[in-house]
A = this chain, B = another copy of it.
Amino acid sequence: MAKLTDGPESVGPDSALPHVVIVGGGFGGISAAKALRSVPVRITLIDRSNHHLFQPLLYQVATADLAPGQIASPIRQILRRQKNATVMMMEVIGVDPAERKVFANYLDHKNLAIPYDYLILATGAQQSYFGKEEWRKFAPGLKTLSDATAIRDRVLKAFEAAEMEEQTDRHPALMTFIFVGGGPTGVEMSGAIAELAHNTLGPEFRRIDPHRARVILIEAGPRILSAFSEELATRVRERLQRIGVEVIVGKKVEQIDQSGVIVGGERIYSHTVIWTAGVQPSPAGKWLGAATDRIGRVKVSPDLSVPGHPEVFVVGDTAFLEQDGRPLPGLAQVAMQGGRYAAAVIASRLRGRELGHGFHYRDKGNLAVVGRGFAILESAWMKLSGYSAWLVWALIHIHYLALFNNRLLVFAQWAWSYLTRQKGSRLIMRDGDIDLSEPDEEAK
């Protein structure tokens, strides 16, 4: 296997220093890299894409509120002043924890071995269809920028198709948008699509009335937003219904196909079904041969290292650790704090000491936003809903986007959209049509 050495053109960090390899340029990986800025190590951060993504706002690209560039920033740009960090755009395919090597592919180089002294796996999660892989092509999920622009294309094309479609019996399926999964993503996205249909697009069509679009949110559990208190979840449900989202709870989706979904025995015809129901961790557990929980998250020690491999850390969505009797949730905050903690452990060991305490997640509160001017906020010491929570949401997100150097532009975009009710990013980028073939006979 090939070895990644510093080439003759290298202007990189001193190769005598301990080598920290970080896999993943999400919240966990970037936070770890930044926390190692002044530590005497050389860092290689590996990601298969060239950009860090502000995941909590990804749905706003799918709903045409923000452009891709407003929530994503090149990882190189984020780390450009940190001279001890080298960024590599390649795909990690495995780890040999005994030999302390990461394996990766790039271009025509396969199975390249990258030796490490410390390894931080911050490889996140991907969409899970709970074993129903065949649903993926009918109900795309939302994890990457191209997922988001694909969903945006799909939603916008459905209205275009309805405007041109003379067979009016096809209109209901074209103008029905179904979101499967009542977590924050499903709630926020269905609310934004209802606003798009009912506020933004109304004046732009001549033959159809976008106000008649149906937006349906389906949750199999007894209520939406199970991570929030019942009181706030109820407020959100009322708000969703007021802006025109039909909320179905306690019914399982039994089938998804090109005609739509079957839920609780009833078929709902729709050309646009979006999957926001489940996630599964990255295969880091398999790479390491480590013990995992039921869904595949690596069971880490209290210091976030892998049992038996104190030099390997797993942070964020791919790690399993209980705190106060409950597993840590898959939130940006958990990943960021985890990345910084792992960096602190490494810095401490290099000074010949161990950190005196295990990882402790500080819950700063949980937010969800439903359309223009309404959000809920829940933390250990407060619950808030409505416009005031929305202001808190907007301020916090503008603050965190500081990471991206473009918070002023996002702010300008939001201010513009808020004042004009326009959506700033309604481009259909892909060629090709949506599928208008007749529903399967069997599916009926």
A164 to B80, Cβ gap below 8 A?
Answer: no
Write the nearest CB–CB distance from A415 to chain B, whole angstroms. 10
Which stretch of A255-263, A353-361, A428-436 is in the interface?
A428-436
A69's partner among B163, B206, B207, B425 (CB-CB below 8 A) is: B425
**Given contacts A412-B408, A416-B409, A422-B77, is CB(A427)–CB(B72) below 8 Å?**
yes
**Given contacts A51-B427, A409-B413, is CB(A80)–CB(B207) below 8 Å?**
no
A interface, by DSSP: helix, strand, loop or mixed?
loop
In the complex, what distance in Å separates the CA atom of A163 from the CA atom of B11? 11
A99 proximal to B (CB < 8 A): no
A209 to B164, Cβ gap below 8 A?
Answer: no
A6's partner among B70, B207, B409 (CB-CB below 8 A) is: B207
Residue of B with least CB distance to A207: B10
Residues of chain B within 8 A (CB-CB) of A166 are 2, 4-5, 7
Write the nearest CB–CB distance from A88 to chain B, whole angstroms. 6
A433 to B107, Cβ gap below 8 A?
Answer: yes
Interface residues of A in 397-413 (CB under 8 A from B): 405-406, 408-409, 412-413
A171 proximal to B (CB < 8 A): yes
A156 proximal to B (CB < 8 A): yes
B209 to A108, Cβ gap below 8 A?
Answer: no
Write the nearest CB–CB distance from A271 to chain B, whole angstroms. 11
A408's partner among B11, B76, B416, B433 (CB-CB below 8 A) is: B416
Per-position 1/0 for A140-151, Cβ under 8 A of B:
000001100100
Q: Could you tell me how many residues of chain A have their Cβ less than 8 Å away from some Cβ of chain B?
A: 77
Residues of chain B within 8 A (CB-CB) of A72 are 427
In the complex, what distance in Å separates the CA atom of A49 from the CA atom of B426? 12
In the complex, what distance in Å separates the CA atom of A49 from the CA atom of B83? 44
Residues of chain B within 8 A (CB-CB) of A431 are 146
A206 to B12, Cβ gap below 8 A?
Answer: yes
A74 to B433, Cβ gap below 8 A?
Answer: no
Task: Add 10 more A-B contacts to A11-B209, A406-B424 (CB < 8 A).
Answer: A2-B166, A4-B164, A7-B165, A7-B168, A67-B69, A72-B427, A83-B206, A107-B161, A107-B433, A109-B164
Write the residues of chain A forming the contact surface with B, with a CB cutoff of 8 angstroms. 2, 4-13, 49-51, 67-70, 72, 74, 76-77, 79-81, 83, 85-90, 106-109, 145-146, 149, 156, 160-161, 163-166, 168, 171, 201, 203-209, 405-406, 408-409, 412-413, 416, 420, 422, 424-431, 433-434, 436-437
Q: Show 18 A/B contacts (Cβ-Cβ < 8 Å), sorted by A.
A: A5-B166, A7-B165, A12-B206, A67-B67, A68-B427, A80-B204, A83-B206, A87-B204, A88-B164, A89-B428, A107-B433, A108-B433, A145-B427, A149-B429, A406-B416, A408-B412, A408-B416, A409-B424
